[in-house]
A and B are shown apart, each in its own frame.
Chain A
Amino acid sequence: GESVGLHLPTLSVQEGDNSIINCAYSNSASDYFIWYKQESGKGPQFIIDIRSNMDKRQGQRVTVLLNKTVKHLSLQIAATQPGDSAVYFCAENPPSNTGKLIFGQGTTLQVKP
């Protein structure tokens, strides 16, 4: 079936440390993955994406890793800041011409000062 899940509901890190948020997806045919950040009362905000023909993609302070063998996706945030505190969702694009996204449950990232 179509489902995207996350390993941990809450992640607490110290300011300045690196954060790693994990995600497992079930549809091996999904060809596109996105990480979104959602702050309280707001809509999902695009962070970074990766296509299935890539293993790694880097952005500003963020890196997404894709392991297709075990259907695993991770988001690494370098030098985590208080402003990074939010819920993080991974989403996958299953085979479809419509581009719909299937979201995971979300991980709450708490950054301690």
Chain B
Amino acid sequence: EPEVTQTPSHQVTQMGQEVILRCVPISNHLYFYWYRQILGQKVEFLVSFYNNEISEKSEIFDDQFSVERPDGSNFTLKIRSTKLEDSAMYFCASRKLLYEQYFGPGTRLTVT
């Protein structure tokens, strides 16, 4: 069964450094998402991406964040200058046409 994959599973970085989180959505899906989950809290929407552009972003998704689909398979989230409060699980999700979103296993980002 096709699934969303994410790399790395765990990323440790120092405050102020740039990180890139990578996702490979399900191949025939058209809509892509990033969510984050701070430890012990609910999952929060960050950004949605369709037709090679951002379709919606939350207030969390400030100028430090960017997304890209550099080729036909990868979907990346970049944080330019990480802060301590960026420490969280980051989930990528994708969907085909209708509503059902499939989530990846997540990348745990630890900012020290």
Contacts and interface: CB of A to CB of B under 8 A. Distances in A.
Interface residues of A, number: 23
A33 to B, nearest CB: 9
Given A44-B91, A89-B42, A105-B42, A97 B103 contact: no
A106 B42 contact: yes
Contacts of A91: 43
Contacts of A32: 99
A61 interface: no
Secondary structure at chain B's binding surface: helix, strand, loop or mixed?
Answer: strand
B100 A43 contact: no
B55 A97 contact: yes
Given A34-B99, A99-B95, A105-B41, 18 more contacts: A36-B103, A42-B106, A43-B104, A44-B43, A46-B101, A96-B56, A98-B31, A98-B50, A98-B55, A99-B31, A99-B48, A99-B101, A100-B45, A100-B48, A101-B45, A102-B45, A103-B42, A103-B44
